[in-house]
Amino acid sequence: MNRSMHMKLRLIAIVYILIFLSYAKAQQGVSKVGTTAAAFLEIPVGARAMAMGNAYVASATDVSGIYWNPAGIARISSGQILVQHSNWLAGTTFDYAAFAIPLGDLGSIGTSVTAFNSGDMQVRNENFPDGTGIYFNASDVAISVSYARPLTDRFSVGINAKYIQQSIWHESATGFAIDIGTIFRTDFIGGLRIGASIYNFGTDMQMTGADLRQFHPIDPTKLGTNQNIPEDIETASWPLPLNFQFGLATEAIKTADNRLTIALDALYPSDNFESLNLGVEYSYEEFLFIRAGYQSLFLKDGEGGASAGIGLQHELPYTNLSVAFDYSYNDFGRLAATHTFTLRLSF
């Protein structure tokens, strides 16, 4: 390995350490649940990964790596498009679309769009506790651009840059963040892969908007007073949900027709305690996939649980297209379960 490569690896290590130290300082043994903005950024992507219990940071080798580990798109051999729809918790919806394409020796580029919507809710106030007849909703959007490339035949690195917006009726907040990911491939234990990602390192977010300005009279009992004294409601700024995820993945079985992948991830979020995700995937001829996993192992008061799913992948005859369909079932305890469907097209 030449001197230039050593310098690149050293720089990446320094970036990881600095970001992780900022995370560790924020953690300080407290879960801090509900103390971050843009929580929708923590909703997982890809039915394959979700069925494997979200243990995917070292297994992200397709376009969904834009979310899990941007280094995962460094070695894709063809263009890929992924679309996902989830009926998420409490009547909300979650949608995701991503695109990635290789550029030869230059690496790979990609982009993604994430959208979350609460559905319509009635406006209520002290005078109309049952609703005013006016409806509003909360919606979140994130748009990312990605770049990844192999630095050696074993080591890949990737980065995302994200624009984030949250809206609640007439109020909104915007922010910017980056994700950094790496994957290292080894020769031992079935070709063990080691992955690491840091997500959502960026700006704080603060709600602003027209409804935060109100007008009040100084004294409504006295004539001649100003009836339109402006009052601005101050909102606090909140950090993004910073997360460090480290994972291992290996093929316990790998023959011409059968493959069994085992994956384990450790999570260190800034807004919760540490936990583990465990997942397995069985593949028959890279056509039929059966997956299972368990998320949030050892997480205090966590609602994550068992997951399972199936997948089908097939090359369309007389074309260069390959289509993959994946489904996942994820149990969230008292919050019920979710069903996620993903369609991936390779061309």
Percentage of the chain beyond pLDDT 70 is 88
Residue 2: pLDDT above 90? no
DSSP string, 160-216: EEEEEEEEETTEEEEEEEEEEEEEEE-SSTTT-EEEEEEEEEE--EE-EEGGGEEEE
Nearest alpha-carbon partner for 117 in 82, 83, 90:
90
Among 4-8, 73-77, 294-298, where is mean pLDDT lowest? Answer: 4-8
The better pLDDT of the pair 29, 121 is held by: 121
pLDDT band at 300 (very low <50, low <70, confident <90, very high): confident
CA distance 158 to 71: 4
Tell me, what's the pLDDT at 9? Answer: 53
The better pLDDT of the pair 14, 107 is held by: 107
Summarize the confidence of residues 154-177 as an average pLDDT: 96
Residue 105: pLDDT above 70? yes
Tell me, what's the pLDDT at 6? Answer: 55
**In which domain, by residue range, is 56 found?**
3-204+239-346
pLDDT band at 124 (very low <50, low <70, confident <90, very high): confident
On whether residue 231 sits in a domain, the answer given is no
On whether residue 14 sits in a domain, the answer given is yes
On whether residue 244 sits in a domain, the answer given is yes
Specify the CATH number for the domain of residue 12: 2.40.160.40
pLDDT band at 201 (very low <50, low <70, confident <90, very high): very high
Residue 128: pLDDT above 60? yes
On whether residue 215 sits in a domain, the answer given is no
Query: Mind listing the pLDDT tens digit for each residue in 56-101?
Result: 999 998 999 999 999 999 999 999 999 999 989 888 999 999 999 9
pLDDT band at 30 (very low <50, low <70, confident <90, very high): low
The end-to-end CA distance of the chain, in Å, is 34
Tell me, what's the pLDDT at 13? Answer: 54
Tell me, what's the pLDDT at 31? Answer: 65
On whether residue 77 sits in a domain, the answer given is yes
Tell me, what's the pLDDT at 189? Answer: 83
CA distance 230 to 16: 46
Tell me, what's the pLDDT at 264? Answer: 96
Tell me, what's the pLDDT at 94? Answer: 96
Percentage of the chain beyond pLDDT 90 is 66
On whether residue 234 sits in a domain, the answer given is no
Instruction: Look up the pTM and report it.
Output: 0.85
Angle at 58 (CA atoms; ends 56, 59), nearest 5 degrees: 60
Give the chain's domain count.
1
Summarize the confidence of residues 232-254 as an average pLDDT: 92
User: Structure tokens of 220?
Assistant: 């409504």
Residue 141: pLDDT above 70? yes
Burial of 13 (0-12, 13-18, 19+ CB in 10 A): exposed
On whether residue 268 sits in a domain, the answer given is yes
Residue 12: pLDDT above 70? no
User: Structure tokens of 90?
Assistant: 């409490």
User: What residue spans of the chain are helical by DSSP H?
Assistant: 3-27, 47-51, 65-68
On whether residue 298 sits in a domain, the answer given is yes
Average model confidence (pLDDT) for the chain?
Answer: 89
Residue whose token pair is 């069903």:
339
